[in-house]
């Protein structure tokens, strides 16, 4: 038996050794594979940087390699280069030679048609629509963007050969043709050709190419005109107005003017917040800065910051980053002066008047994204690209973090290839700070676009990176990519929600909320509630409950019913998620049912849950009448002034104070447009705002969901018409709270006169003596009355 047991023991030890060896071999192979993958990713990043440098070098060579030959003709200096019109004519000669006959026929027919229309309409501007120099598109040209442009002075078109060649393909920069509007509108905003010289109008050729057709409309014809009446010519300035309207520049400018002119924010509230908090507590200091940003969001009023520079200078490190970023919320939509406002704080600036640091530079680039959110242009892109091309020091990581967030905001929902390539290079950088921001920024750029191939790359990288911050940023970024795609996102949702990594499952909850936002989809709600009660990770459970608010955002009453029981859960994360779900789903509604659920939660014993309840209540009560707001204001005032309350609880109260008066008391959180369409910016902003649980600077994403509560009526010239509107509500419904400065201050220091004890005793003896006299007099009077009555009888 001993021999058998010994033999079995030796076999067992041998098996253990073999198992250990096999596991060790697997570990070594896994490490080797991870190292190879990292090396491959690093090589990809290096190749990307090399390609970027080569591209820049190529552009520099093009600019420096232009051979300038000056010659005088007709008393003017003409500059030639390899991109001159002679070179273009020479390049296109062979191709145009075969098309000359058909080209001339079409020119005659088109010219005669335009001439007849011009004579019939009595407008000679039709004849000049094709005589100016403009964009030139050539698929064989070396330019990567497919457009001919030149930085040199204007050409002199007195040379007949040049004018004839130019007239065959040129389009006036002041006229809008049908083909240039349809095929080149996406790229014309990037590069602009110089305006034509006056002499170019002397060309007599009429182009017959597709770009020679004139955009015509009959919208300006009078109602009495018959259907056979000739269409009228649409003026270029009308197209410019239409472009400004559709791009959002005109509505944003009018809204900005409204927000500034009707600002009703009370600076005394901010002074009270500042005086009641200790500036040495960075959490409360940052909360007051954020409250100021929300109070003045979109109003361009930064008086509080300018008047309290000493107090603001106490911000250090990431608090300085957040304080600088708050300027972007205040100047949100200030497209004309936004870049000039932040220019002293941006990188690559030699100004010595401002002491800059990596934190202020990163915050400035984040602020730039908040100002130009969803309204970026190539100049802003290039400014933010420069913030990404930094070194490997810790301070430069901070600047890159702000550049990534700013770039994601500026290119929101555009799916721009250049932005994605830059952000992918930043994502593969071995830095948790930069990788987290790059992951979220990739989701912002690809919001609602499905992501394409780079979504798979992001998920693969999330499995390989050791940084939890990067995994969380990538998970949220993937969720944002599938905004509003519903069933198309099911495959990626299943992959993320079944992953073993809880941080990726956390992103999967947001993927469900974003994909099925506002759809009231029953399957999506069931999935979220299943994870809310069964997942082993508290963060996943909190995200699952919170995202119920996104799915049911179209029906606020259903949100209240869905999470009513979860508000009494034993798990604090579930209670917090339930409160935020109510705040998101019922934002700006003032729902009585929602407030009835949130009010009992104010007695919760956990400070984080109380913070979420205060923020959620503020989201529900924003832009509500003062009769509803007054009790909540008293609760906030009590919490803020009580220095014994928990810091997280007081932070929630300070943020709620800023939210309920957001935008100078002229803004609300609106998840839908007036026509009933869901706002992408509102959902994206709220989704990233909820990440302040991990990272406080993300609080400012709430500004994306703020919209003015104004009815703006303008005529065709964008002027306010004289109209009268009937409103059935009382004026008190729209009245704002009285400013604190006008409220009479109560004197809590009462003056008491010193009274000696001997004086008190003397007064007491006198009082008793007087009382005895009065009692004796009453008794004598009563006896006399009784005697008189007896005598009468």
Token output for 516? 């099925």
Query: CA 472 to CA 470: how far, in whole Å?
Result: 5
pLDDT at position 395 is: 74
Q: What angle do CA 47, 369, 700 make, to 5 degrees?
A: 125
| 438 neighbors 471 (Cβ within 8 angstroms) | no
**Model confidence at 549: pLDDT above 80:** yes
Distances (CA, A) of 725 to 634, 719, 722: 35, 17, 10
What mean pLDDT, rounded, does the chain reach?
77
Percent with pLDDT over 70 in the chain: 74
- Residues pairing with 214 in the sheet: 177
- Is the predicted pLDDT of residue 181 greater than 80, yes or no? no
Kind of pairing between the strands at 136-137 and 147-148: antiparallel
Over residues 475-504, the mean pLDDT reads 93
Summarize pLDDT for 649-667 with one digit per residue, the tens: 999 999 999 999 999 999 9
Local confidence band at 524 (pLDDT 50, 70, 90 cut-offs): very high
From CA 267, how far away is CA 276, in angstroms rounded?
14
Asked if the model's pLDDT at residue 682 lies above 70, the reply is yes
Closest CA to 385 of 122, 53, 632, 732: 53
| Residue found under tokens 């500034």 | 260
Q: What is the pLDDT of residues 734-758, one digit of tens each?
A: 777 777 765 454 444 444 455 566 7
User: Tens of pLDDT along 246-262?
Assistant: 888 888 888 888 888 88
The residue with greater pLDDT, 105 or 58, is: 58
pTM above 0.85, yes or no: no
Dist. CA 748–CA 34, nearest whole Å? 69
Q: Please say if the pLDDT value at position 165 is more than 50.
A: no
- pLDDT tops 90 at residue 698: yes
Question: 671: which residues sit within 8 A by CB, 6+ positions away?
Answer: 518, 553, 587, 678, 679, 682, 683, 705
Is residue 220 predicted with pLDDT exceeding 50?
A: no
Confidence (pLDDT) at 396: 80
Q: What is the pLDDT of residues 317-339, one digit of tens each?
A: 899 999 999 999 999 988 888 88
d(CA 441, CA 425): 12
Report the Cα 764 to chain-centroid distance in Å: 74
Contact by Cβ (8 Å): 233, 216: yes
pLDDT digits (tens, 9 = 90+) for 385-432: 888 876 667 778 888 999 999 999 999 988 888 899 999 989 988 788
pLDDT digits (tens, 9 = 90+) for 189-207: 333 333 333 333 333 332 3
| Tally of CA atoms within 13 A in the half-sphere of 244 that contains its CB | 16
Say what the pLDDT of residue 390 is. Answer: 61
- The lowest-confidence range among 110-119, 464-473, 626-635, 683-692 is 110-119
387 CB burial (10 A radius; 0-12, 13-18, 19+): buried
- Sorted by sequence, the CB contacts under 8 Å of residue 495 that are 6+ apart come out as 459
Distance from C-alpha of 131 to C-alpha of 212, rounded to nearest angstrom? 10
pLDDT value, residue 43 = 82
CA distance 405 to 690: 16
Collapsing DSSP states into helix, strand and coil, what is residue 755? Answer: coil
CA angle 537, 538, 541 (to 5 degrees): 95
Give the H/E segment covering residue 491.
helix 490-497
Confidence of residue 60 (pLDDT cuts 50, 70, 90): confident
Q: How many CB atoms lie within 10 A of CB 707?
A: 20
- Do 205 and 164 form a contact (C-beta atoms < 8 A)? yes
The pLDDT score that the predictor gives to residue 85 is 45
The H helix count followed by the E strand count for the chain is: 33, 8
Mean local confidence (pLDDT), 699-722:
85
Q: What is the mean pLDDT of residues 54-83?
A: 55
Helix (H, G, I), strand (E, B) or coil at 148: strand
Better pLDDT: 575 or 98: 575
Q: What's the rounded Cα separation, in Å, for the pair 358 and 345?
A: 10
Decide if 154 contacts 194 (C-beta within 8 A): yes
Task: Fill in the DSSP letter of residue 500.
Answer: S
Give the pLDDT confidence of 119-128 residue by residue, as tens digits.
444 443 333 3
């Amino acid at each position: 038996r001993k021999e058998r047991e010994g033999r079995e023991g030796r076999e067992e030890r041998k098996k253990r050794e073999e198992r250990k060896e096999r596991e060790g071999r697997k570990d070594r192979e896994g490490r080797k594979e991870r190292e190879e993958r990292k090396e491959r990713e690093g090589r990809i990043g290096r190749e990307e940087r090399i390609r970027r440098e080569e591209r820049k070098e190529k552009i520099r060579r093009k600019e420096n390699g232009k051979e300038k030959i000056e010659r005088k003709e007709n008393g003017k200096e003409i500059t030639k280069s390899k991109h001159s019109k002679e070179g273009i004519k020479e390049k296109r000669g062979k191709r145009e030679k075969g098309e000359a006959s058909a080209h001339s026929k079409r020119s005659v027919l088109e010219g005669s048609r335009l001439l007849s229309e011009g004579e019939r309409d009595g407008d000679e501007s039709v004849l000049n629509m094709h005589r100016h120099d403009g964009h030139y598109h050539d698929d064989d040209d070396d330019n990567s963007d497919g457009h001919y442009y030149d930085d040199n002075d204007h050409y002199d078109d007195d040379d007949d050969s040049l004018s004839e060649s130019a007239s065959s393909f040129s389009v006036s920069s002041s006229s809008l043709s049908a083909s240039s509007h349809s095929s080149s509108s996406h790229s014309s905003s990037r590069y602009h050709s110089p305006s034509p010289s006056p002499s170019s109008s002397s060309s007599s050729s009429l182009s017959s190419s597709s770009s020679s057709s004139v955009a015509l409309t009959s919208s300006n014809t009078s109602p009495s005109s018959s259907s056979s009446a000739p269409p009228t010519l649409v003026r270029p300035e009308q197209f410019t107005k239409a472009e400004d309207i559709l791009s959002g520049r005109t509505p944003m400018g009018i809204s900005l003017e409204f927000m500034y002119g009707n600002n009703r924010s009370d600076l005394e509230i901010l002074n009270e917040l500042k005086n009641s908090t200790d500036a040495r507590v960075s959490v409360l200091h940052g909360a007051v800065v954020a409250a100021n940003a929300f109070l003045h969001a979109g109003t361009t009023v930064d008086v509080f910051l300018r008047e309290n520079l000493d107090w603001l200078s106490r911000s250090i490190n990431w608090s300085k980053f957040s304080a600088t970023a708050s300027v972007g919320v205040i100047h949100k939509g200030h497209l004309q002066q936004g870049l000039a406002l932040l220019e002293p704080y941006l990188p690559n600036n030699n100004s010595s008047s401002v002491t800059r640091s990596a934190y202020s530079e990163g915050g400035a680039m984040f602020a730039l994204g908040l100002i130009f959110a969803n309204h970026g242009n190539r100049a802003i892109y290039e400014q933010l690209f420069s913030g990404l091309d930094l070194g490997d020091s810790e301070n430069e990581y901070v600047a890159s973090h702000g550049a990534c967030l700013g770039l994601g905001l500026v290119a929101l929902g555009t799916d721009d290839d250049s932005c994605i390539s830059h952000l992918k290079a930043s994502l593969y950088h071995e830095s948790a700070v930069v990788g987290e921001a790059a992951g979220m920024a990739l989701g912002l750029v690809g919001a609602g676009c499905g992501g394409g191939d780079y979504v798979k790359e992001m998920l693969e990288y999330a499995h390989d990176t050791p940084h939890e911050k990067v995994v969380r940023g990538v998970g949220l970024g993937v969720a944002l990519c599938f905004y509003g795609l519903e069933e198309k996102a099911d495959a990626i949702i299943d992959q993320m929600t079944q992953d073993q990594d809880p941080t990726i499952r956390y992103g999967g909850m947001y993927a469900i909320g974003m994909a099925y936002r506002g759809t009231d989809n029953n399957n999506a709600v069931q999935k979220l509630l299943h994870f809310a009660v069964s997942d082993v990770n508290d963060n996943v459970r909190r995200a699952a409950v919170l995202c119920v608010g996104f799915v049911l955002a179209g029906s606020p009453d259903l949100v209240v019913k869905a999470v009513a029981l979860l508000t009494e859960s034993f798990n604090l994360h579930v209670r917090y998620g339930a409160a935020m779900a109510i705040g998101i789903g019922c934002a700006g509604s003032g729902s009585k049912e929602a407030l009835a659920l949130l009010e009992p939660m104010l007695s919760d014993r956990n400070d984080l849950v109380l913070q979420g309840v205060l923020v959620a209540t503020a989201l529900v009560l924003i832009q509500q009448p003062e009769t509803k707001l007054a009790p909540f204001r008293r609760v906030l005032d009590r919490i803020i002034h009580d220095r014994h309350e928990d810091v997280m609880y007081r932070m929630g109260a300070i943020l709620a104070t800023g939210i309920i008066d957001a935008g100078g008391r002229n803004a609300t959180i609106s998840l839908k447009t007036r026509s009933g369409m869901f706002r992408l910016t509102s959902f994206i902003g709220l989704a990233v705002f909820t990440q302040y649980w991990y990272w406080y600077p993300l609080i400012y994403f709430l500004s994306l969901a703020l919209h003015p509560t104004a009815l703006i009526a303008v005529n065709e010239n964008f002027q306010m018409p004289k109209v009268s509107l009937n409103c059935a509500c009382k004026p008190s419904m729209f009245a704002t709270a009285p400013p604190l400065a006008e409220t009479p201050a109560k004197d809590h220091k009462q003056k008491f006169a010193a009274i000696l004890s001997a004086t008190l005793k003397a007064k007491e003896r006198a009082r008793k003596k007087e009382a005895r006299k009065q009692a004796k007099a009453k008794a004598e009077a009563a006896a006399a009355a009784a005697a008189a009555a007896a005598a009468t009888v």
